[in-house]
A and B are shown apart, each in its own frame.
Chain A
């Protein structure tokens, strides 16, 4: 069966070559595109560690001069907690998917060189509980551990803060296999004891492949004029609570700017908007490629069927069944797509190497290529089925009736 197919294909060398080329490029691009889609989706699904469905946030900028931020935050929080439906509230300086990120180099010895940069989250007492961060080891901060962030003097609270809660990922990176609880780290000038470990907490601006959870909570009170209030409530109450919070804050003190009222879900949505666009485009590109390739295969196959009507008729007259003709075209297609995939495998990894070089994409894991190959074979078989069935329907009499066209 193989010999006559190969013989036929060598008569259409150029056309076959072009088809092989098309399948190869489609295979290479689709495999890499699929991988990129999976990567992006994984990034978008990173757990923030927060009770995302229950949180809303609003930013407040105090205009009073001279400001008394600590007292103001306390008064604001008391009023916010009194809103019906609010189960917890905290004043914080950063949130995952928020605007600013404050990172500190973390050393494990005094005066030592920083091993990595960890994002800092500072907030009023109860921040961890309000955000819904799950403590897996140790304890929450004690009331006596809190001190002002001292943002007016270069955020120097970091040099005096006694305690910190780290993420599990950060603990594992700083103290591999040893347990981080009770250990001392140096994010500023002074020693900071790790008193607790939370399961997850995403950096404000996650992007890279690792280090997205290098984050620390500090018992430091935001004391800038600008602060974010986070409120926790039932998912169904979020919009109402957010609207009420703006009213309550404005009523409490006119002399301030309230901005960016948002639910946490909206923050996540906004942060990954570009990635969603990109995923859409990647999907469209992959779909378009597969469609064009399928139509190309079908188009060529129907040409060949028309061209070979007479020879098909001869074969049928000589005793070939409809099934034989059908299988002939299917086998021919399988072979062409097979060549394409073989070439495509090389191109696929070459393309991946290029992407690794320019776009920090990791190496393509092994399952993608076989899956892509299977998909293309299926696509080829699907595309060729129509023309092949038409070929099988050619009656033996075509051998003498039809011309060679």
Chain B
């Protein structure tokens, strides 16, 4: 029976080719656009550190003055001032904790013949590597003692190590950054989590990677160049060491809710202590954000992309309404045929099945077209100059979702028209010539 309905559907669809093409195109465009954007948002909202993200937190201590207007409304970005970061580091109340800031430095290749170049990196404290599970190809990070001793050590990412030393082992070699020689103690295995969650979340949080890592205190001591936000208030000027300049990112590792709760209380106590000294005038309590919540709060996924998704879904919806209307008109035009079949003994469910098959054929064809268009759409996203562009690839789960969406959409689109068709009464229709 099914094969017969399929044959009927194909016959009916080929009878009005232009209309069938229109319906397939509409559903294909709608699904293609929606799946492109859903895939982009899916890969961008992914976990940058699977398995570890659950125990990583950002403490939020907002030291900014009260202020008014737009300045006051700007949401806190989690940046800490140096004295606060140092206090949290020294308190050692979390399983692991690290302060960090972005930086950049001119790199001089070992052979004098090659030209120096500029590279971006990060100034971090010892726990950074074990806390984030940074994969080492060789060597390891440095110790807290190295931090305190302002050791001149560096961890390179694979890219920079290869650029400097080629295939030769980099471990133990010396790298000249700006005007200081650093000893390579570790080489990372091409580590670039997407997004670069530990960096300040801004429009370039996707796509970039740090090529070197230096001890934060060493970098401060040597007056290396810092990059990224520096927000100051009060009258102490724009100084890295000031309690009135926020510029450091801080992450802690807390294993389990008990530790998280204890750390939250510790932060609140610290806040109370500091308020007694006249700092932290804002009334908000200290807060602790998990990694994924933090990315969400800071808007790691650009608003434009969400807008593009809504636009695509809106388009899909209008396409769906369009198809439902067209199928409805098409099916009801065949009321005569339906009533004859009904009079000859076809049950409602037979009619429903017959027309359901016809709409499903349209939906599947549209879905297949949509899948092709989504691949095309993702290809066009990959041509964008944005950092997230290279992430835009269909994975198996999104492929399945596309099929589910196509089948779901076509079933939904066919449901109403088929239901209306199967409600056509037999006798009434036979009366009209």
- A-contact 0/1 string along B353-367, CB 8 Å cutoff: 000000000000000
**Contact (Cβ within 8 A) A25 B317:** yes
Q: Which residue of B lies closest to A273 (CB)?
A: B385
**Contact (Cβ within 8 A) A300 B329:** yes
Q: Which residue of A lies closest to B304 (CB)?
A: A278
Give bound CA distance, A61 to B333, whole Å: 76
Give bound CA distance, A404 to B179, whole Å: 91
Q: Is B277 an interface residue (CB 8 A)?
A: no
Nearest chain A CB to B322's CB is how many angstroms away? 4
**Contact (Cβ within 8 A) A293 B329:** no
Give bound CA distance, A403 to B179, whole Å: 93
**Contact (Cβ within 8 A) A299 B19:** yes
Q: Which residues of B contact A18 (CB under 8 A)?
A: 321, 324-325, 328
Nearest chain B CB to A179's CB is how many angstroms away? 23
**Given A61-B106, A114-B67, A274-B304, are A288 and B336 neighbors across the interface (CB < 8 Å)?**
no
**Given A259-B118, A285-B311, are A19 and B237 neighbors across the interface (CB < 8 Å)?**
no
Most chain A beta-carbon neighbours within 10 Å: one of B321, B386, B416: B321
Give bound CA distance, A278 to B416, whole Å: 35
Q: Which residue of A lies closest to B384 (CB)?
A: A277
Give bound CA distance, A295 to B27, whole Å: 13
**Contact (Cβ within 8 A) A295 B22:** yes
Nearest chain A CB to B175's CB is how many angstroms away? 14
Interface stretch of the complex, out of A131-139, A148-156, A369-377: A148-156
**Contact (Cβ within 8 A) B329 A278:** no
Partner of A15, one of B238, B242, B317, B325: B325
**Contact (Cβ within 8 A) B238 A155:** yes
Chain A interface residue number, banded = 35 or more
Q: Is A292 an interface residue (CB 8 A)?
A: yes
Residues facing B in A216-240 (CB within 8 A) are 225-226
Q: Which residues of B contact A296 (CB under 8 A)?
A: 26, 322, 325-326
**Contact (Cβ within 8 A) A303 B315:** no
**Given A257-B118, A299-B22, A307-B333, are A293 and B315 neighbors across the interface (CB < 8 Å)?**
no
**Given A14-B420, A15-B329, A359-B303, are A405 and B315 neighbors across the interface (CB < 8 Å)?**
no
**Contact (Cβ within 8 A) A293 B322:** yes
**Given A153-B237, A257-B106, A273-B385, are A22 and B307 neighbors across the interface (CB < 8 Å)?**
no
Q: Which residues of A contact B322 (CB under 8 A)?
A: 22, 292-293, 295-296
- B-contact 0/1 string along A237-278, CB 8 Å cutoff: 000000000000000000101010000000000100110011
Q: Is A33 an interface residue (CB 8 A)?
A: yes
Q: Is A26 an interface residue (CB 8 A)?
A: yes
**Contact (Cβ within 8 A) B69 A116:** yes
**Contact (Cβ within 8 A) A404 B336:** yes
Q: Is B319 an interface residue (CB 8 A)?
A: yes
Give bound CA distance, A288 to B32, whole Å: 12
Residues facing A in B195-238 (CB within 8 A) are 223, 225, 233, 235, 237-238
Nearest chain B CB to A290's CB is how many angstroms away? 10
**Contact (Cβ within 8 A) B311 A281:** yes
Chain B interface residue number, banded = 35 or more
- A-contact 0/1 string along B37-75, CB 8 Å cutoff: 000000000000000000000000000000111110000
Q: Is B390 an interface residue (CB 8 A)?
A: no
- Determine chain A's interface SS by DSSP, over half rule: helix
Q: Is A306 an interface residue (CB 8 A)?
A: yes
Q: Is A328 an interface residue (CB 8 A)?
A: no
**Contact (Cβ within 8 A) A405 B19:** no
Nearest chain B CB to A313's CB is how many angstroms away? 13
- Determine chain B's interface SS by DSSP, over half rule: helix
Q: Which residues of A contact B396 (CB under 8 A)?
A: none
Q: Which residue of A lies closest to B230 (CB)?
A: A102
Q: Which residues of B contact A154 (CB under 8 A)?
A: 237-240, 242
Partner of B318, one of A29, A114, A211: A29
Give bound CA distance, A306 to B303, whole Å: 47
Give bound CA distance, A404 to B312, whole Å: 40
Q: Which residue of B lies closest to A302 (CB)?
A: B19
**Contact (Cβ within 8 A) A257 B117:** yes
Q: Is B116 an interface residue (CB 8 A)?
A: yes
Q: Which residues of B contact A153 (CB under 8 A)?
A: 237, 239
Give bound CA distance, A15 to B315, whole Å: 19
Nearest chain A CB to B425's CB is how many angstroms away? 15
Q: Is B314 an interface residue (CB 8 A)?
A: yes
Q: Which residue of A lies closest to B239 (CB)?
A: A154
Nearest chain B CB to A389's CB is how many angstroms away? 17
**Contact (Cβ within 8 A) A303 B106:** no
Q: Which residues of B contact A33 (CB under 8 A)?
A: 311
Q: Which residues of B contact A359 (CB under 8 A)?
A: 303, 307
**Contact (Cβ within 8 A) B118 A61:** yes
Q: Which residue of A lies closest to B385 (CB)?
A: A273
Nearest chain B CB to A161's CB is how many angstroms away? 13
Q: Is A63 an interface residue (CB 8 A)?
A: yes
**Contact (Cβ within 8 A) A113 B384:** no
Give bound CA distance, A359 to B306, whole Å: 10
Nearest chain A CB to B366's CB is how many angstroms away? 12
Give bound CA distance, A12 to B238, whole Å: 72
**Contact (Cβ within 8 A) B71 A117:** yes
Residues facing A in B112-146 (CB within 8 A) are 115-118
Give bound CA distance, A289 to B320, whole Å: 11
Residues facing A in B359-397 (CB within 8 A) are 384-386
Partner of B330, one of A19, A273, A303: A303
**Contact (Cβ within 8 A) B325 A300:** yes
Q: Which residues of B contact A304 (CB under 8 A)?
A: 329
Q: Which residues of B contact A300 (CB under 8 A)?
A: 325-326, 329
Q: Which residues of A contact B284 (CB under 8 A)?
A: none
Residues facing B in A28-74 (CB within 8 A) are 29, 33, 61, 63, 65
Nearest chain B CB to A114's CB is how many angstroms away? 7
Q: Which residues of A contact B298 (CB under 8 A)?
A: none
Nearest chain A CB to B236's CB is how many angstroms away? 8
**Contact (Cβ within 8 A) A299 B326:** yes
Q: Which residue of A lies closest to B23 (CB)?
A: A299
Give bound CA distance, A22 to B320, whole Å: 9
Give bound CA distance, A61 to B179, whole Å: 13
**Contact (Cβ within 8 A) A289 B329:** no
Give bound CA distance, A155 to B330, whole Å: 74
Q: Is A282 an interface residue (CB 8 A)?
A: yes
Nearest chain A CB to B388's CB is how many angstroms away? 11
- A-contact 0/1 string along B228-260, CB 8 Å cutoff: 000001010111101000000000000000000
**Contact (Cβ within 8 A) B420 A63:** no
Q: Is A189 an interface residue (CB 8 A)?
A: yes
Nearest chain B CB to A170's CB is how many angstroms away? 15
- B-contact 0/1 string along A176-212, CB 8 Å cutoff: 0000000000001100000000000000000000010
Selected A-B contacts with CB under 8 Å, 7 pairs: A21-B321, A22-B325, A29-B314, A29-B318, A63-B106, A274-B304, A359-B303
Nearest 3 A/B pairs, CB to CB: A18-B325, A154-B237, A154-B238
Q: Kindly list 12 other residue pairs between chains A and B, CB separation below 8 angstroms, not including A22-B321, A25-B321, A299-B19.
A: A12-B332, A15-B328, A15-B329, A18-B321, A33-B311, A61-B118, A116-B71, A156-B238, A257-B116, A292-B318, A359-B303, A403-B433
